[in-house]
Chain A
Amino acid sequence: MKRIGLLFMIFCSLCCIALAKEAKPLSNDPELEKRVIALSRQLRCLVCQNETLAESPVDLAEELRGQIREQMKAGKSDKEIISYLTDRYGKFILYNPPVDPTTYLLWFGPFVLLLAGLAVLFRYVKRRRELIIEQPLSASERRRAEALLGTKQGKEIT
């Protein structure tokens, strides 16, 4: 199983890198092709998973694009086609993850981390400020400081 996985990965990386290009239009209706490509840009290729269906050259992506094209010809809306595909391949096929309970962590996690980081920073800075206690100079320290700075006696050192 592992070996096949590895072969599969090698195959994928080869096919994805070597052949990656946009799908060739297959019908002579440019409007329809535009729609097919626009929709397949929003969908994930299930073989080369970091590519969209529009970019992937693998057979399965080709077939799925064919399926999309046919359903569009049959007059189905983008929404209907997306639900057809998610019914079969799950939400995983959506290249833009939808906002729903399973993806809350993905969408909102970074903001939660940001807020947590800000809270920690705020607490740290506040605590540090409390640790710094201003102490007035004693008379001998003042004299030493004046000597070092070469200032005249009586002049205020700030």
Chain B
Amino acid sequence: MRYAIPLIIFLVIVAFLASRLRGGYDPHRIPSALINKPAPEFQLPELRNPTQTFSPKQMRGKVWLLNVWGSWCVACREEHPFLIELSKSGRIPLYGLNWKDKREDALATLEELGDPYVLNVSDFDGRVAIDYGITGAPETYLIDQNGVIRYKEVGQLTPEIMQEKILPIVKELNK
């Protein structure tokens, strides 16, 4: 009994530290303040057709993904093949927010790697990205029929995240 209490305290500390070490805890994953809040409105020129503008309002009634990327972003390149696969599966429409990019660079990247997006909008000065609370690329938002953000993935989308996190929410929303 004399040693039980310090031992228990010690084990609690060990368990806490181990959970943080092993659980893939990443301090850069800041929980989004925007989950279950309306997606910020914007009106931005389309990447391929800059005379046209796109606004999330046009997506009312649909469940869709907004993926933030840039041609300068290495992680986005790594994520790209999965985005292509995702768009081929036709499960959910994927829209792109091209963040602080040059138009030619963005178009060249899509030319080179393929274009998984229904369409892209250009956020040249990163203003809209700040409105969405973005800290780095890639980031992906799941937005529901009423324009409410339901999920945010900081970092690359992977088949696992899609299967385990996003698709269950999509299924629930499409009920």
Residues of A that sit less than 8 Å from B by CB: 1, 4-5, 7-8, 46-47, 49, 59-60, 63-64, 67, 86-92
Q: List 30 A-B contacts (CB under 8 A).
A: A1-B156, A4-B74, A4-B75, A4-B78, A4-B155, A4-B156, A5-B26, A5-B28, A8-B28, A46-B30, A47-B136, A49-B27, A59-B100, A60-B126, A60-B136, A63-B125, A64-B130, A67-B130, A86-B33, A87-B34, A88-B33, A88-B34, A88-B130, A88-B131, A88-B133, A89-B33, A89-B133, A89-B135, A92-B30, A92-B31
Q: How far is the CA of A64 from the CA of B155 in the complex (A)?
A: 20
Q: How many residues of B contact A (CB 8 A)?
A: 25
What 0/1 readout, one digit per residue, does chain B (120-161) give for beta carbons within 8 Å of chain A? 000001110011110110000000000000000001101000
Q: How far is the CA of A88 from the CA of B135 in the complex (A)?
A: 10
Given A1-B155, A46-B135, A67-B130 in contact, is the A89-B75 Cβ separation under 8 Å? no
What 0/1 readout, one digit per residue, does chain B (91-121) give for beta carbons within 8 Å of chain A? 0000000001000000000000000000000
Q: Is B53 an interface residue (CB 8 A)?
A: no
Q: How far is the CA of A89 from the CA of B133 in the complex (A)?
A: 5
Residues of B within 8 A of A91 (CB): 33
Instruction: With both chains docked as a complex, state the minimum distance between the C-beta of A77 and any C-beta of chain B, in angstroms.
Output: 19
Residues of A within 8 A of B136 (CB): 8, 47, 60
Residues of A within 8 A of B32 (CB): 90
Q: Tally A-B pairs: CB < 8 A.
A: 53
Instruction: With both chains docked as a complex, state the minimum distance between the C-beta of B68 and any C-beta of chain A, in angstroms.
Output: 12
Chain B interface helix/strand/loop/mixed = loop
Instruction: With both chains docked as a complex, state the minimum distance between the C-beta of A119 and any C-beta of chain B, in angstroms.
Output: 14
Given A1-B158, A4-B78 in contact, is the A90-B30 Cβ separation under 8 Å? yes
Q: How far is the CA of A47 from the CA of B30 in the complex (A)?
A: 10
Residues of B within 8 A of A46 (CB): 30, 135
Residues of A within 8 A of B131 (CB): 88
Residues of A within 8 A of B74 (CB): 4, 7
Given A5-B26, A46-B135, A87-B33 in contact, is the A63-B78 Cβ separation under 8 Å? no
Q: How far is the CA of A59 from the CA of B28 in the complex (A)?
A: 16
Q: How far is the CA of A4 from the CA of B31 in the complex (A)?
A: 19
Known pairs A5-B28, A47-B136; list 4 more (Cβ under 8 Å): A4-B78, A5-B26, A63-B126, A90-B32
Residues of B within 8 A of A64 (CB): 130
Interface residues of B in 57-78 (CB under 8 A from A): 74-75, 78
Closest 10 CB pairs of A and B: A88-B133, A90-B33, A46-B135, A4-B75, A89-B133, A92-B30, A63-B126, A67-B130, A87-B33, A88-B33
Residues of A within 8 A of B127 (CB): 67
Instruction: With both chains docked as a complex, state the minimum distance between the C-beta of A90 and any C-beta of chain B, in angstroms.
Output: 4
